[in-house]
Amino acid sequence: MYRTFLSWRWMRTRKTNIIGVVGIAVGVGALIMILSIMTGFLEQSKKTLRGGLSDLSIEPLFLPLESGSLPPLDPRPVLDAVRADPRVEAACAQLVWYGILGQGGGDAAISALRMSEASGSQSLAGVKLVGVDLADEYATTALRADLERAPRSGATRVADPQRPFDPPPGHKPDGRPLASVVVGEQLARAWNLRRGDVIEVVTGVPDAEDGDFQVQNRRFVVAGTFRSGENEMDLERIYMERAELVDFLGTGRQYSQVLVKTRDYDAIGRALQSDLAQRLSDLGVLRGLDTGEVRTWEDHRRSLLAAIKNERVLMGIMLSLVVLVAAFTIFAILSMMVTEKRRDIGILTALGATSGGVSQLFLLVAFWDALLGALAGAVLGVLGAVYIDAIEQWLSRVFGVQIFDRGVYIFDHIPSVVNPSWVALIVLGAFLCTLLFALVPAVRAGRLHPLDALRHE
């Protein structure tokens, strides 16, 4: 009983203990705050990193199977099999091929190809041709939103997002009507393309019989632009109807990938991935289970995601040093206190305290320090993380310096995510760490021979 009573009294009356509490509170608070903000940043970067990737993508290799037969070139069996799964919300087939965009007709493009150094980069651009089925695409990907996003200056959107591949208003073909395409906003800007402009696309496809590359070219009319916000997509993508691209390439291949939107990716994404791989290889679409033909969006970004995770772990470890320093403060304070309290230890022993009791007494002092410090730190840290924007603005105002440059990032506030289990872990960690550090001086106090101190003042 005297242990609780006396430790609390010492805690309250001795100023050095306040320093310990403040030290732990600052350490814990800073750790929680910084981790929350960094988690916010990482979550934001993760979102950015994902970009336009769909939950799952199925990209068959189109190589002869073990049975000797080729996988079906038509996407329908795959789509049917995928849609049969109740965890799938929507799926769409895309045909993707690469081409070169040339200005001023096919001949000019081909000659520019031959003398690429002399003609400069403006007259040639590598593009990604994406053939889509509109209704499926709208249900599965963000294309519709990309088409409706407010254009930056100079760009023109399609006349009717419901039917983006309709001929642009006022388009009067002087021969066979041209198929419409939608181009990325950045590509349109770089090439000064406007609605109704005609472009020439050159590509090479393997000949079905001898495998040699054949050059194909076709003219299209620009029906409008889209903006996904992702640089790569907006700079090189050209959308058209899948049937049109199938016809242009003439290789017989109807699709190159099937994109899948799931009902709850975080919960079932991985399970669905392996189930679909199993089902589709049973169907004879995939070469095998471990060929990487069915991938989640995270698989596509594996190395970058791993880097993010690494960063967070590393940061956690480094910031834990702050807590370690705080715990060390307690060690120092308690060691000092044991020396200072030698006489009192002698008194307590004379009055009947055991050495274990004395150790517990000092451990309890550290316990109060740790408890108050960790709790205060948790409150401070969580409040700091939640109101970081207001705090930053206030600091910027007071010091007249912009601390967080919002122009640098694509988000306009300081993101922070407070993870309750992390907060609990940090509080618990700081608490245990402090007690562990306190154990040394506490045990020393119990072993102290109090006699010399009792003999003289």
Partner 1 sequence: MANQNKDATRPLLSARGVKRRFKVGDRIVEVLHGVDLELFDGELVALMGSSGAGKSTLIQVLGLLDAPDEGEVHYGEVSAWKEPPGERARLRNRAVGFVFQFFHLIPELDAVENVLLPAMIGSDPDLKARRKELRERARAMLVEFGLGERLDHRPAQLSGGEKQRVAIARALLLDPKLVIADEPTGNLDSTTGAKVLDLLLEEQKKRDLTLLLVTHDERVAARCSRVVRMKDGRVVDPRG
Q: Which is nearer to partner 1, 85 or 344 (CB)?
A: 344
Q: Does 14 sit near partner 1 (CB under 8 A)?
A: yes
CA-to-CA separations, 283 to 74, 82, 375, in angstroms, rounded: 13, 11, 58
- Residue of the chain from 357, 379, 380, 429 that contacts partner 1 (CB under 8 A): 357
Residues contacting partner 1: total by CB under 8 A: 27
- DSSP, collapsed to helix, strand or coil, labels residue 179 as strand
Residue type, 160: D
Measured in degrees and rounded to the nearest 5, phi and psi for residue 296 equal: -85, 170
Residue 409 and residue 370 in contact, taking contact as beta carbons nearer than 8 Å = no
Integer distance in angstroms from the first to the last C-alpha of the chain? 27
Q: Which is nearer to partner 1, 19 or 453 (CB)?
A: 453
From the CB of 361, what's the least distance to partner 1, in Å? Answer: 10
Q: Does 308 sit near partner 1 (CB under 8 A)?
A: no
Which residue in the block uniquely carries the two structure tokens 């009573």?
5
Q: Which is nearer to partner 1, 118 or 351 (CB)?
A: 351
Q: Does 354 sit near partner 1 (CB under 8 A)?
A: yes
Closest CA to 244 of 91, 134, 146: 134
Radius of gyration from C-alpha coordinates of the chain: 34
Q: Which is nearer to partner 1, 353 or 382 (CB)?
A: 353
Q: How far is residue 413's CA from residue 41's CA, in Å, rounded to a whole number?
A: 10
- Residue of the chain from 90, 333, 353, 427 that contacts partner 1 (CB under 8 A): 353
Q: How far is residue 359's CA from residue 365's CA, in Å, rounded to a whole number?
A: 10
- Residue of the chain from 9, 47, 76, 163 that contacts partner 1 (CB under 8 A): 9
- Residue of the chain from 325, 350, 428, 436 that contacts partner 1 (CB under 8 A): 350
Listed in sequence order, the residues at least 6 apart from 120 whose beta carbon sits closer than 8 Å to its beta carbon are none
Q: Does 337 sit near partner 1 (CB under 8 A)?
A: no
Measured in degrees and rounded to the nearest 5, phi and psi for residue 248 equal: -65, -45
Q: Does 346 sit near partner 1 (CB under 8 A)?
A: yes
- Residue of the chain from 16, 355, 393, 419 that contacts partner 1 (CB under 8 A): 355
Closest CA to 226 of 240, 246, 243, 207: 240
Please name the helix (run of DSSP H) or strand (run of DSSP E) that holds residue 17, with its range, or none.
helix 15-50
Q: Does 454 sit near partner 1 (CB under 8 A)?
A: yes
- Residue of the chain from 336, 424, 436, 451 that contacts partner 1 (CB under 8 A): 451
Q: Does 351 sit near partner 1 (CB under 8 A)?
A: yes
Binding region for partner 1 (CB under 8 A) out of 142-150, 156-164, 294-302, 345-353 = 345-353
- Residue of the chain from 2, 213, 387, 394 that contacts partner 1 (CB under 8 A): 2
Interface map 392-431 toward partner 1 (x if CB under 8 A):
----------------------------------------
- Residue of the chain from 90, 100, 179, 348 that contacts partner 1 (CB under 8 A): 348
From the CB of 23, what's the least distance to partner 1, in Å? Answer: 22
Q: How far is residue 442's CA from residue 448's CA, in Å, rounded to a whole number?
A: 10
Listed in sequence order, the residues at least 6 apart from 454 whose beta carbon sits closer than 8 Å to its beta carbon are 343, 346, 347, 350
Interface residues toward partner 1, by CB under 8 A: 1-2, 5-6, 9-10, 13-14, 343-344, 346-355, 357, 450-451, 454-457
